[in-house]
Structure 1
Amino acid sequence: MTQALPPDTVQDKYIVPGLERGLRLLGEFSRAERTLSAAELARRLQAPRSTVFRLLATLEMLGFVERTDNGREYRLGMAVLRLGFEYLASLELTELGAPLLDRLRDETGYPCNLVVRDGRSIVYVAKSVAPRPFASSVNVGTRLPAHATVLGRVLLEDLTLAELRELYPEPQLEAFSEGTPRTVDALFEMVQTDRERGYVLQEGFYEASISTIAAPVRDRSARVVAAMGVTIPASHIDPEELGGMVEKVRNTAGELSRLLDYRPQLGRKVVNL
């Protein structure tokens, strides 16, 4: 019978020395030491200069390092920056959005939610409950119709008319309130108006006596990946506070978008087809 290898031996068996050295080399660069020479890297890695030169040549070809103007030192390249952006974008929205939701709740005093779209439904992925009494039927995981909710309208903003027709092939949309658009054409016109405004503020759209302020969250592709919103009992709305609350929602959604590396100039133009 073959004797089992110790865990450390099994782990060492699968380590690629060249890859390990390359990653350690990248880890030597820091905010304090943005440029390093090959000789200095060889000293730190305790590796032959010829090995470090091959590592640098490979990393330079892939864009992970680049030479400085004097040609004798190296600094991190754009590929490292792209990896950082991809890492941020790969984090769960709840990880990045939860603390922002809590702050928005504290600033407004009302429940705050973060939702994503799954086909024709919105799904609540994070929420922050306000201390004031407010009965809410939604929890994390709750699904509601996208076309009939304020948050859903935000999540449909990027779709062209052709894409909306593919998503909703039926001639009449299911109505949940007087405000629900009855046709795809009416829905498209509504969400494009929302897109131009940059946010949605509406009372009783899905549920009577409830107002929602919502704004889009975009990622580096400039597509809407989530919607952030504040839910307010309509009877408690103070018109003098609405402007400030709208800005708080938009600013917080914008902050989350920036964490996802959204840049406004990359926005996609929607074509009415």
Structure 2
Amino acid sequence: MTDALEPTDLQDKYIVPGLERGLRLLGEFSRNERTLSAAELARRLQVPRSTVFRLLTTLEMMGFVERTDGGREFRLGMAVLRLGFDYLASLELTELGRPLLDRLRDEVNYPCNLVVRDGRSIVYVAKSVAPTPFASSVNVGTRLPAHATVLGRVLLEDLTLAELRDLYPEPQLEVFSESTPKTVEALFDMVQRDRQRGYVLQEGFFETSISTIAAPVRDRSAKVVAALGTTIPASRIDPERLHGMVEQVRSAAGELSRLLDYRPSEGGAVVNL
């Protein structure tokens, strides 16, 4: 019988020493010390200089550090900046979007969500739950297929047919309901109609008992970076409320886009990058 591992023992068991050293090395750079030599890094990390050279070579190959001063010193590379910018962008999106979701939820009295695309999936990054008996089956972090969901269709609007074919090389798409497009060409035609309309309203698209209204969120480059929408626990939406709810969703998405510094081109047309 073996004793259970203590939390610190478990932590030590799964630590990757090389990765730990690489991250510690990156952490030595700061605003006041933007460049450091391999010798100085070896002294600070208390590891052999040969180990530091291997770490630096790996990090340089991946763009996390770059040589300066004729190759004698190193500084942080663009890959570190990209990681930071991506983090700040995601933080900005969710932090700005959450109060808008809460306001939209209060207006429509249904759950509201903000999602982004990760390859062929959508990922829920923020949600606002309405005080109704309807319990949403999704949480922050939930992943669903982009091509088979209303919110996913919004996130595919910027892709060309060639880009969609690269994303979905298979001849037949996986079908989740009678409404799921079965080919890339059918998906492309669908999302282009969505794009022209400026929003998506679909009754029972992914699940027969659920309807969704969604609109795109764009950033300063005019690219769709998120989809904002409300989920309605009914296969059909009350026609008397329909127009108002669509406009409320579009208004919330438009306001979040403006907060992300999106400015429509002249005439209100969306820039197709």
Shorter-chain TM range is 0.5 to 0.7
Q: 1:193 is matched with which residue?
A: 193
Which amino acid is the alignment partner of residue 268 of structure 1?
V
Tell me the secondary structure at the aligned position of residue 124 of structure 1.
Answer: strand
Cα shift at 1:238: 1.7
Q: 2:271 is matched with which residue?
A: 268
Which amino acid is the alignment partner of residue 150 of structure 1?
V
Over 3 Å counting, the alpha-carbon distance change for 1:235 and 1:175 in structure 2 is: closer
Over 3 Å counting, the alpha-carbon distance change for 1:235 and 1:204 in structure 2 is: closer
Q: 2:128 is matched with which residue?
A: 128
TM-score using structure 2 length:
0.66
Hey, what's the Cα distance between the residues in 2 that align with 1:137 and 1:89? Answer: 27
Tell me the secondary structure at the aligned position of residue 265 of structure 2.
Answer: helix
Cα shift at 1:92: 2.9
> Contact 2:203/2:235 (CA < 8 Å) preserved in 1?
no
Hey, what's the Cα distance between the residues in 2 that align with 1:125 and 1:89? Answer: 12
Hey, what's the Cα distance between the residues in 1 that align with 2:235 and 2:207? Answer: 13
Q: 2:32 is matched with which residue?
A: 14
- Written as runs of structure 1 = structure 2, the 5 A alignment for 1:222-261 is 222-234=222-234, 237-261=237-261
Identical-residue share of aligned pairs (%): 82
Tell me the secondary structure at the aligned position of residue 230 of structure 2.
Answer: strand
Hey, what's the Cα distance between the residues in 1 that align with 2:90 and 2:135? Answer: 33
Task: Structure 2 unaligned segments of length 5 or more: list them.
Answer: 1-30, 35-85
Hey, what's the Cα distance between the residues in 1 that align with 2:165 and 2:87? Answer: 34
> Contact 2:204/2:235 (CA < 8 Å) preserved in 1?
no
Alpha-carbon displacement from aligned partner over 1:95-142 (angstroms, at most 9, x marks no partner): 000000000000000000000000000000000000011022100000
Which amino acid is the alignment partner of residue 271 of structure 2?
R
Which amino acid is the alignment partner of residue 214 of structure 1?
A
Hey, what's the Cα distance between the residues in 2 that align with 1:218 and 1:144? Answer: 21
Cα shift at 1:269: 2.7
Hey, what's the Cα distance between the residues in 2 that align with 1:250 and 1:166? Answer: 30
The answer to which of 237-246 and 119-128 deviates more is 237-246
> Contact 2:105/2:111 (CA < 8 Å) preserved in 1?
yes
Q: Whose Rg is larger?
A: 1
Hey, what's the Cα distance between the residues in 1 that align with 2:167 and 2:235? Answer: 35
Q: 2:171 is matched with which residue?
A: 171
Hey, what's the Cα distance between the residues in 1 that align with 2:88 and 2:145? Answer: 29
Over 3 Å counting, the alpha-carbon distance change for 1:134 and 1:236 in structure 2 is: farther
Cα shift at 1:248: 0.2
TM-score using structure 1 length:
0.66
Cα shift at 1:208: 1.1
Tell me the secondary structure at the aligned position of residue 92 of structure 1.
Answer: helix
Which amino acid is the alignment partner of residue 194 of structure 1?
D
Task: Structure 1 unaligned segments of length 5 or more: list them.
Answer: 1-12, 17-85
Hey, what's the Cα distance between the residues in 1 that align with 2:197 and 2:106? Answer: 25
Hey, what's the Cα distance between the residues in 1 that align with 2:145 and 2:171? Answer: 17
Higher relative contact order (CA 8 A, sep 6+): 1
Q: Number of matched residues? A: 189
Which amino acid is the alignment partner of residue 188 of structure 2?
F
Over 3 Å counting, the alpha-carbon distance change for 1:87 and 1:119 in structure 2 is: closer
Hey, what's the Cα distance between the residues in 1 that align with 2:87 and 2:167? Answer: 31
